[in-house]
Structure 1
Amino acid sequence: MILSVTTLKDSAANVEKWVRRNLAGGIDHMVVFLDGPQPEVEALLEGHPHVTAVMADADWYQGVHSQGLNARQVVNAAVTSRLLGGMPWADWLFHLDGDEVARIDRTQLDALDPDARAVRLQTLEAVGRLRPERDPTLFKRLCSRDELRVITALGELAKPSNMRYFRGHTRGKSGVRPRPDLALGVHHVLDLEGERVERAEAPGLHVLHYESPSGEEFVRKWMALLSSGASVGQRGHRAAVAAAIRTLSRLDLDDEDRRSFLHRLYERHCADDVDLLQRLGVLVEVDADALQRSVDSSPEAVRQLRLLLERARPVQKRGFRPRGAARDIGDLVARLQEGL
């Protein structure tokens, strides 16, 4: 089975679409850690044969909960990847965010060297429009240096850099062959020394990143981040936008003005000249709703997965983390897997 792990806070409508697209895109079973009470999402996922939802409250985190959203994501991915180590039905585990959809060519994945411990999904980022008529089906791929120079010369970029071209990450997302001595992180796989594991690459392995494809989604995302306790700090050229958003969240503004200013920030700093990029031939067309796929995850494997997560609830999570993991993590995982 190909599995995914996510720490999630979103609307039921967005989650329904996200689950459907990922199952069609190649994921067989999704582990979803609910980042706070979400009754409508819980009701949606309850009993879903291809989703395991975990209420990730303070009881689950055992002392890690207050360290911020990124820390919670890292812990949940690491716990899941280590727990699945050695389970014969767990072929790969990928970390996905709530705005990401895997597009996995199973033939390409199966053709990887058996010694490959990690694999990379290359990012395709949805184009950004202030008021799109529908969900995007055009995506930006990483561009060559020469392509970036042309885009810059035409006024779409301040400098020829994929980091500036993309609103979100360019590093892609990782998958791991689960084993106790490896921990899946947000973007990378790490060993017990905290070193990054080399990621294999192949065509047909992508992640569709719906990073703020509209002004409304930009507003929703940042409002959710601010309410989650996550830092809005960003590096590089995005720092100015993040600082403005941080200040807007603190000013005594009514909601209508705050949303209006966020829309203006989006239009000025995030929206793409889609017509220009399409005419240059640097966009990829992908309709995430067009793919149909029969998902066949083993009920017995799902039962074992849920039992493992239940057994792990009272266990201190610090020892599972990618860096500073307990040296006896293999023994702990073996005890949790006992009898399965």
Structure 2
Amino acid sequence: MIISASTVKDTSENVEKFVRRNLLGGIDHLVIFLDAPLPDVEELLDGHPDVTCVRAHGAWWGSTPPGGLNERQITNAALISRLVVGFVWAEWMFMLDGDEVARIDRPVLDALAPQQRAVRLLPLEAASRLHPVADPTLFKRLLSADELQLLHALGVIAEPKQRSYFRGHMSGKPGLRPSADLALGVHHVVDTGTGDRVDTVKDPGLRVLHYESHDGEEFVRKWTALLSSGLDVAQHKKRAPVAASVAALLSLGLPEEQTASLLEELYERTALDDVESLTRLGLLVEVHPDEGPRRPRPPDDEVAQLRELLRRAADVNKRMFKPRARNQRAPALIAKLQRGLR
């Protein structure tokens, strides 16, 4: 079973799309940690056989208040990646954000040697349009130095750097074979003994579609959510300029129509792609995430074990499972949570 872990706070429409596309992209079962009470989303996920929904708010964190969004994501992913260690059905685990879709070529994973325990899904970022008529099917891949120089010379990007081309992350998303000495993070696999990042295997058959601010409406939704999530975006150099601009605009208290117009202008200046030029140059990759077969559904008894593990973990101190916590009590607690299931 290929499992994904995600901490999500979004609309039921977006969550339904996220689930459907990831199942078509190679994930067998999704564990979705809801970051806030969302009754309509809960109703959608509770009835879905391919999803385990965890109410990861309030009592989930006990008496210890959680940190920002990034810390909650890391803790949730690391917890489940260690809970499932030793279960034969837990073959691979991936960390995905709510605006990401895995594209996993299963034969690539099957061909890896046993000692290759961590992989990386390389990013394909959705080409952005201001007012698209449908969800994007054209995606940007990471470019070579010469390709970046070409785009800069043509005036498509401000600098011949990957950061001028990609709006979102460029490192991709990690996956691992669940192991007692490894933990899954947001962008890295971590050795729980040393706290060091683990080398990952990269392959063209292992990709992740990233819908980073792919249109004006999503741009506004994403940044408004980020600024209200507890995540200190100012600490992230890549995000800080846009975050500061959006925050400043929202704080001005302008009329709603005027604010919307200025947000759209901000989007055009900071996030809009020159899709026409990129298409002429042949630099975009076409992907249809709503098409294709999906793998057979995992057996009910295996899914039941996964859900029972998460139910048992509801009352434990989640912080001891953070990748770099190196808490000596964690292995014994995991063994206790697994008792009678393996």
Alignment pair present for 1:196 and 2:208: no
- Residue in structure 1 matched with residue 129 of structure 2 by the alignment: 129
| Alignment TM-score, normalising by the size of structure 1 | 0.97
Query: Identity of aligned pairs, percent?
Result: 57
Aligned equivalents of 1:143, 1:50: Cα separation in 2: 35
1:202-217 correspondence runs (5 A): 202-217=203-218
Identify the range of structure 1 (81-90 vs 295-304) with the bigger mean alpha-carbon deviation. Answer: 295-304
1:339 is displaced (CA, Å) by: 0.2
- Residue in structure 1 matched with residue 280 of structure 2 by the alignment: 279
1:275 is displaced (CA, Å) by: 0.7
Aligned equivalents of 2:65, 2:214: Cα separation in 1: 30
Aligned equivalents of 1:235, 1:68: Cα separation in 2: 13
- Residue in structure 2 matched with residue 337 of structure 1 by the alignment: 338
1:234 is displaced (CA, Å) by: 5.9
- Residue in structure 1 matched with residue 107 of structure 2 by the alignment: 107
Aligned equivalents of 2:46, 2:325: Cα separation in 1: 34
Counterpart contact for 1:101–1:207, Cα < 8 Å: yes
| SS across alignment from 1:93 | strand
Cα deviations by residue, 1:191-229 (Å, 9 ceiling, x for unpaired): 122100110122210000011110001011112222322
Alpha-carbon distance change, 28 to 65 in structure 1, aligned in 2, over 3 angstroms: farther
1:325 is displaced (CA, Å) by: 2.7
**How many residues of Structure 1 are paired with residues of Structure 2 in the alignment?**
340
| SS across alignment from 1:201 | strand
- Residue in structure 2 matched with residue 157 of structure 1 by the alignment: 157
Aligned equivalents of 1:194, 1:6: Cα separation in 2: 22
Alignment pair present for 1:32 and 2:32: yes
- Residue in structure 2 matched with residue 96 of structure 1 by the alignment: 96
Cα deviations by residue, 1:65-115 (Å, 9 ceiling, x for unpaired): 441111110110010101011111000000000000000000011111211
Alpha-carbon distance change, 63 to 161 in structure 1, aligned in 2, over 3 angstroms: farther
Alpha-carbon distance change, 90 to 326 in structure 1, aligned in 2, over 3 angstroms: same
- Residue in structure 1 matched with residue 16 of structure 2 by the alignment: 16
| SS across alignment from 2:31 | strand
Cα deviations by residue, 1:219-277 (Å, 9 ceiling, x for unpaired): 11112222322223264464322211121232222333322222111111110000100
Alpha-carbon distance change, 63 to 94 in structure 1, aligned in 2, over 3 angstroms: farther
Please, which runs of 5 or more residues in structure 2 have no aligned partner? none
1:294 is displaced (CA, Å) by: 4.0
Aligned equivalents of 2:236, 2:311: Cα separation in 1: 37
| SS across alignment from 1:220 | helix
Aligned equivalents of 1:265, 1:143: Cα separation in 2: 25
RMSD of aligned residue pairs (Cα, Å): 1.4
| SS across alignment from 1:128 | coil
1:148-297 correspondence runs (5 A): 148-192=148-192, 193-233=194-234, 235-236=236-237, 238-297=239-298
- Residue in structure 1 matched with residue 4 of structure 2 by the alignment: 4
Please, which runs of 5 or more residues in structure 1 have no aligned partner? none
Q: Letter of the aligned partner of 1:204 in structure 2?
A: G
Counterpart contact for 2:28–2:295, Cα < 8 Å: no
Aligned equivalents of 2:103, 2:24: Cα separation in 1: 8
| SS across alignment from 1:202 | strand
Aligned equivalents of 1:224, 1:323: Cα separation in 2: 27
| Alignment TM-score, normalising by the size of structure 2 | 0.96
Alignment pair present for 1:312 and 2:313: yes
Counterpart contact for 2:227–2:243, Cα < 8 Å: no
Identify the range of structure 1 (328-337 vs 2-11) with the bigger mean alpha-carbon deviation. Answer: 328-337
Counterpart contact for 1:232–1:246, Cα < 8 Å: no
1:133 is displaced (CA, Å) by: 1.2
- Residue in structure 2 matched with residue 59 of structure 1 by the alignment: 59
- Residue in structure 1 matched with residue 302 of structure 2 by the alignment: 301
Counterpart contact for 2:124–2:142, Cα < 8 Å: yes
Counterpart contact for 2:216–2:264, Cα < 8 Å: yes
- Residue in structure 1 matched with residue 87 of structure 2 by the alignment: 87
Alpha-carbon distance change, 161 to 324 in structure 1, aligned in 2, over 3 angstroms: same
Alpha-carbon distance change, 63 to 162 in structure 1, aligned in 2, over 3 angstroms: farther
Aligned equivalents of 1:279, 1:236: Cα separation in 2: 32
Aligned equivalents of 1:76, 1:290: Cα separation in 2: 30
| SS across alignment from 1:174 | strand
Counterpart contact for 1:105–1:204, Cα < 8 Å: yes
